[in-house]
Amino acid sequence: MLALTLLYVALIGAFFVVYAWSLYNLPILATGVRNLRKARQMSKKKHVAKDQLPTFSIVVPVKNEGKVVGRLLEALAKLDYPAGKQEVIIVEDGSTDRTLEICSKFAEARQGSAVKILQKPSSDGKPSALNYGIRQATGDIVAVFDADSVPAADALLNVSGYFDDPSVAAVQGKTLSINSDENMLTKLIAYEDVVWCEAYLRGKDVLNLFVHLRGSCQFIKRSVLEELAGFDERILSEDMELSARLTEKGYRIRYASDACSWQETPASLKGLVKQRTRWFRGTMEVAFKYGRLMAKPSMRSFDAEATLFGPFMLLFSLLTYFAAFFSFFIPFPLGFWWQMALQFTALSSMLTLFLCGLALVYASKPRKVTNVFWLPFIYFYWSLQTLIALLALLLIVLRRPRKWVKTEKTGSVRTLGFGKDTELESC
C-alpha cells in the first residue's frame, strides 16, 4: 500500500511538472504568435549603406556531402551582398566521395573571390571542423551553414542590421524545410520547425529571453568567438552549448525571421531517431554543465535553464503517458489531486496546440487555415520524441561514448513552391 501511495505521489508530481513547464512557455508562444501576426502587416526594414556593412566569413563544414553541397555553393554565389565583404571557408573533413572535387570546381570558377578550401588532417566532428575554419576567418561576423543549406539571397543583408546593437553577439536565422512534401514525416518536421522558429524563438526574442542557436543559418561575431575559444568540441550539441556560454557571459542572441535558409529534414524514422538522440543527449549534458547559470539569476538565465531542461520535460511527459495508460489496468486512487493533474495537463496541452495552430496559419503565405488539421499528428509526433529523449538519457546513464553522428542527406527537393512566395517557404 505504501509503495502504491508513493507511486501515486510521484505521478501527481510528474503531471504538475509538465503543467508548470507548459504554463511557463504558453506566454512565450502567445507573444511569438502575436508578433508574427503583426509582422505580416509591417513593411521590410531599410538597409544601411553598403560601405557601412560588416564583413562576413561563411564557414561551411563538409564531409561526404556530394549530393547536396553543389546547391549550397550555387546559393552562396547568388548572395545579394558586396563580394568584397564576404569570404567562403569550406572545411573539408575527410570526404570519400566527390565533395572535394565539387568544392574545388566552385573555387576555380570564382577566381578572384575569397574562397578558401581547408582540408583537416583528421576527422573528428562538426565542432572541430568549425573551429578549424574559424581560425582562418577574417570577417567581422562568422556565418555557419550546413552543407545541405540553401540560404536566401538576402540572408546576409537582412541579418547585418541586427549587429548594430553592441550587446548582440549572435543571431539565429529562420530555417525552413526544403523537402517538406517528401512524406508525412518531413511534413511534420517542417511544421515543427515553423512553430519553433516563428512562435517560440520569435516570442523569446520579443521578450528578451534566451534565444539559442540551431547549428545552421547562425551568425556570430568573430571577436566573441575568439574570446570564448570557439565551439566546445567535446559536446554533441555544440550550438546549444555556445548559446549557454554566451548567455553566461552576458551576451544577447537575437532571432532573425528575415534571414532564411532552407535545409533538408530527415525523411526516415531511423534518420530522425539518430538526429534527435544526438540533439537531446547533447542538450541534457549542456543542462548539467550550465546549472550554474542560476548563480546569477535573471529572466534570461532562468529561461535558458528552462530551455535546456526541455528534454527532461519530455521524460516527465512520458511518465504521464504511461500513467494515463496503466490507470485503465491498475486501481490508482483517483482522488482530487489526480483529477486536477489530469485536467490541468489536458488544458495546457490544448492551449499549446491552439497557439501552434495559429502559428501555422500566420506563417503560411497565403494563410492556410487547413494547416490546423495537422495538429493531432504533430501531437503524436511530439509523443514519439519522448521515447527518443528516454534513449538519450539511457546513453548518458550507461556512459556510452559520445559520437558525433552526421545526419545523412539525399539532395531531395520536394517543397511546394520552393523559391516562390507561397506556402511556408517564403521569408
Q: For position 239, what pLDDT does the model report? A: 96
- DSSP one-letter code for 63: S
Q: For position 8, what pLDDT does the model report? A: 65
Q: Mean pLDDT across the stretch 364-390?
A: 83
Q: Does residue 86 sit in helix, strand or coil? A: strand
Q: How many residues does the chain have?
A: 427
Q: Mean pLDDT across the stretch 8-20?
A: 76
Tell me the pTM: 0.89
Helix axes 310-326, 299-308, angle to 10 degrees: 50
Which of 11-15, 114-118, 356-360 holds the top average pLDDT? 114-118
Helix axes 2-39, 299-308, angle to 10 degrees: 120
- pLDDT mean across residues, the chain: 86
Residues 6+ apart with CB under 8 A from 188: 374, 377, 378, 381
Q: For position 332, what pLDDT does the model report? A: 57
**Distance separating alpha carbons of residues 160 and 47, to the nearest angstrom:** 9
Is residue 419 over pLDDT 60?
no
Residue 312: in which H helix or E strand, if any? helix 310-326
Q: 66-100, pLDDT tens digit by residue?
A: 999 999 999 999 999 998 999 999 999 888 999 99
Is residue 364 over pLDDT 80?
no
Q: For position 396, what pLDDT does the model report? A: 94
Q: For position 47, what pLDDT does the model report? A: 60
**Distance separating alpha carbons of residues 388 and 159, to the nearest angstrom:** 34
Q: 218-252, pLDDT tens digit by residue?
A: 999 999 999 999 999 999 999 999 999 999 999 99
Asked whether 251 and 224 are in contact (CB, 8 A), the reply is yes
Which domains, and CATH codes, for the chain? 44-190+209-274 (3.90.550.10)
Q: How confident is the model at residue 7 (pLDDT cuts 50, 70, 90)?
A: low
